[in-house]
Structure 1
Amino acid sequence: MLENNIAVEREKIVHRALIEFESALIGYAASIVKDEDRAKDVVQDTFIKLYEQDPEKVKESLKAWLFTVCRNRALDILRKEKRMVALVDEKADRLEGTTATPDRVADWDERVTQVMNALDRLSDNQRKVIRLKFQQELSYKEISEATGLAPGNVGFLLHTGLKRLRALLPEDLLENSLRKQ
């Protein structure tokens, strides 16, 4: 019975937070990540974290808690994306044997755009698990816990998503964009 009361309390807090703060959180996250779709993902992650919290610990400072978690999540995403781009840039520089020239930078920007456009053509779940696997470096189990998907489903989504990306992108572009060194 106690667990049922906690679940009801969690749902009330999440419902209240959605009504009162969702649009403000999306705007705040968008100001950090500079993209509304990624901002919505950040806010979704924030609400998932809220649901996982003990209601008693967050209900008195709900607004501050939400904005803190939202900011931290947005900054985590930016840091991980920077690391991914830096690793790929470093690998590209090593492969080229020289530092980036304007032509190489333009070529690199075009490649990044191709990868992002291809990712946008995947289903939401495929895109999410691929980003969690390759940008966040999560294991299948961690992806399963973060998304609520079964580990087998995570593996299937990764397999089908990567297969679709392979069909959409040149092989060298896909490997250089997703894989760490």
Structure 2
Amino acid sequence: MPPEVASESQWAWVQEAIEAHESALIRYARSLLHDGDQARDAVQEAFIKLCRQNPETVSGHLLPWLFRVVRNQCLNMLRKDKRMSHLNDLETLDSQDNPAESHPRDQHKRETITSLFELVDDLPTRQRELVLLKFQQDFSYQEISDVTGLSVSNVGFILHTAIRSLKQQWENLEHSTVGGN
């Protein structure tokens, strides 16, 4: 048991949080850092901070609290490294089956998802972050507000702008694909 944890029940609480939320937090951190090792480090730091928290202080809002800590850790890492880059070649899809072994319909679906992720990757950083929180993590506007520190109305405006931009880019992509073939 880590020395920061005061009791077995608190350690069990942290263990449950790790089991329930670690993979989602790593995906989120990876979307910000574009590096799997750094993403795992950021999430590990968040869970270390959770070990030091009184469960009552984050009760009822544990998930937004964890995402906010991970976000802040990622921003600190980015500031330290002085780098902001685009998503690597869709690490999100790395865990899926080998595309060569899949059915043509599955291959088309994979290509569609890949195209969509590329469009999301091209969004401005703030829009990309909010789109990923909303649609990858299924967060409410309030939860996104809690994580990012933006007002709920600002979250809604930024998401609306991002979705409108994605729709336009998607339509342009479809027109160029149809016209190019």
Shorter-chain TM range is 0.3 to 0.5
Q: Which structure features the higher share of helix residues?
A: 1
Q: TM-score, normalised by structure 2?
A: 0.44
